Amino acid sequence: MINKLTSEKKALIPSYLERWRNIVLSSEPIDRRKAVEIVEYMYSLVGIKTPKVIFCNSPYTTINQMLVDANQEHLQKNITKNVEKIVNDQLEDFAKKTSLYKANLIDIQNLNNEEKINIESLDELEELDAREENNLDLLRMIFSINQSELVWQFWCKKIEPKGISSFDWFSTAATFDFFTSELDCDYDPKVYQFVDQVVRAGVFIFPFEECCFICDRPTKLLFDNENRFHAEGETAIQFADGYSIYSYHGVTLPEKYGKLHPQRWKPQWLLTETNAELRRILIQGIGYARICQELQAVELDSWAEYTLLQIDNPIDVEPVYLLKMTCPSTGFIHVLRVPPQTKSAREAIRWVNWGVDPEDFSRQS
């Protein structure tokens, strides 16, 4: 029984995740015939006759269609949990046969992070469960954008809107691949085949006993260099029916911000934006130099070419104190945020320079 991963096996984990991530990121339209076959296979796994299949062009269109059809009996029992149990049972079986806690490659991948987690045995991975989310979970993103509206409507109409997303399952497919290929684990070929087909097909499935919705994958996906959904002045995710999502370094934006390039974002928006995460993104995109200039930062202290400033407006959770630095030769201005308890420009300089006093820093230069 395997209870440890060798360093050689650990080194292979990112390649499995990347392989399956690349598979799921295709923007080709789904093969509807193949999608129906996958649905038939899925219903056979849970022992239910395949119901009527309805195609939609985006998950959001599907969600709205479900709300329109809410009074019809075919939406009364969602079987997603039945399907997930079959897949999770196979993953738990991997864990039992190898003594590795929870066969989840997103967790295992943390062993390769720069955080230098010291784990000799993967039995300790329970602590890592909540450390990293799947940033490709589009269903979660769609519901989070429209949370108050959709959750209330589904709750009132007693519909379970759970679905199966290839984007949410790519790490599961990677897990199957890794455990069967590298650790030679026994597995149920029917379950592995199903997971493999769902991810390769790029489908979103909302399965009910009497009806099954299938929707297409996105036609457009844009990312930053850390593989987070990201675009500036345009949508990061778009579906064939026009439904789209704006995102800035993985944070979902409302259209009023997302449709404009960050260079056109206005510092004044910080005064009325109530969402702390969106304020953080606005600050990141606008930059402190523009914020200082347009929100009329108050000068608190100065030392040589350095100035300690305060934004006298509630634009963030904590008061915003800034160190403004002007290059004496080029006139270039650089602005950094410093702790709100900072009392002087010299103290701010010491904080920026890791405790080195500016005069000592000048002598060392």
Q: What is the pLDDT of residues 157-168, one digit of tens each?
A: 777 888 999 998
What percent of the chain shows pLDDT beyond 70?
84
Residue 117 pLDDT more than 50? no
Is 52 inside any structural domain?
Answer: yes
Domain boundary among 200, 217, 234: 217
Q: How far apart are CA 359 and CA 363, in angstroms?
A: 6
| Same-domain status, 18 and 140 | yes
Alpha-carbon span 60 to 138, nearest angstrom: 10
Query: 193 CB contacts (<8 Å, ≥6 apart)?
Result: 41
SS3 state at 333: strand
Would residue 1 count as lying in a domain? no
The amino acid sitting at 77 is K
pLDDT of residue 147 exceeding 50, the answer is yes
Residue 127 has pLDDT above 80, yes or no: no
In a domain, 2, yes or no: no
Give residue 111's pLDDT.
40
Whether 269 is in a domain gets the answer no
Average pLDDT over residues 196-212: 94
The verdict on residue 108 lying in a domain is: yes
Q: Which helix (H) or strand (E) holds 359?
A: helix 358-364
Joined together, the tokens standing for residue 344 give 């002087």
Quote the strand ranges of 251-315, DSSP E. 251-253, 298-303, 306-311
129 and 15 assigned to the same domain:
yes
Predicted local confidence at residue 133, as pLDDT: 47
Give how far Cα 26 sits from Cα of 23, 283, 290, Å.
Answer: 6, 33, 39
* Total domains in the fold of the chain: 3
Q: Does 185 lie in the same domain as 73? A: yes
Higher-pLDDT residue of 295, 150: 295
Position 104 confidence tier, pLDDT thresholds 50, 70, 90 = very low
What are 249-281's pLDDT values in tens digits? 999 999 999 999 999 999 999 888 888 889 889
Residue 122 pLDDT exceeds 70: no
pLDDT bracket for residue 362 (50, 70, 90): low
At 173 the pLDDT is: 92
Same domain? For 340 and 193 the reply is no
Lowest mean pLDDT segment, chosen from 45-59, 91-105, 172-186, 263-277: 91-105
Q: What is the pLDDT of residue 128?
A: 27
Comparing 355 with 238, which gets the higher pLDDT?
A: 238
Parent domain of 243: 221-264
Domain end: 157, 182, 217, which one? 217
Residues 184 and 328 in one domain: no
- Which one of 191, 217, 243 terminates a domain? 217
**Based on the domain organization, do 102 and 179 belong to the same domain?**
yes
Q: Give dist(CA 141, CA 117) in Å, integer.
A: 29
Contact present, 287 and 270 (Cβ < 8 Å): no
| Beta carbons within 10 angstroms of residue 338's beta carbon | 20
CB 83 within 8 A of CB 52: no
Residue 118's identity, in one-letter code, is N
For residue 198, being part of any structural domain is answered with yes
Q: Is 177 helix (H, G, I), strand (E, B) or coil?
A: helix
Helical (H) or strand (E) element with 7: helix 7-24
Q: What is the mean pLDDT of the chain?
A: 82
Do 202 and 228 belong to one domain?
no
Q: Which carries the bigger pLDDT value, residue 98 or residue 279?
A: 279
Q: Do 254 and 319 belong together in one domain?
A: no
184-193, 214-223, 280-289, 323-332: lowest mean pLDDT where?
Answer: 323-332
Confidence of residue 204 (pLDDT cuts 50, 70, 90): very high
Query: Is the same domain home to 199 and 76?
Result: yes
pTM listed for this prediction: 0.75
Assess whether 12 and 117 both reside in one domain: yes
Q: Which has the minimum average pLDDT: 39-43, 71-75, 254-258, 259-263?
A: 71-75
Where residue 206 falls among pLDDT bands split at 50, 70, 90? Answer: very high
From first CA to last CA, the distance across the chain in angstroms is 59
Quick one: average pLDDT of 235-251? 94
Is 347 found in the same domain as 203?
A: no
pLDDT at 2: 62
Mean pLDDT to the nearest integer, 285-297: 87
For residues 324-338, give the mean pLDDT.
81
DSSP 8-class letter at 244: E
Q: What's the pLDDT at 1?
A: 57
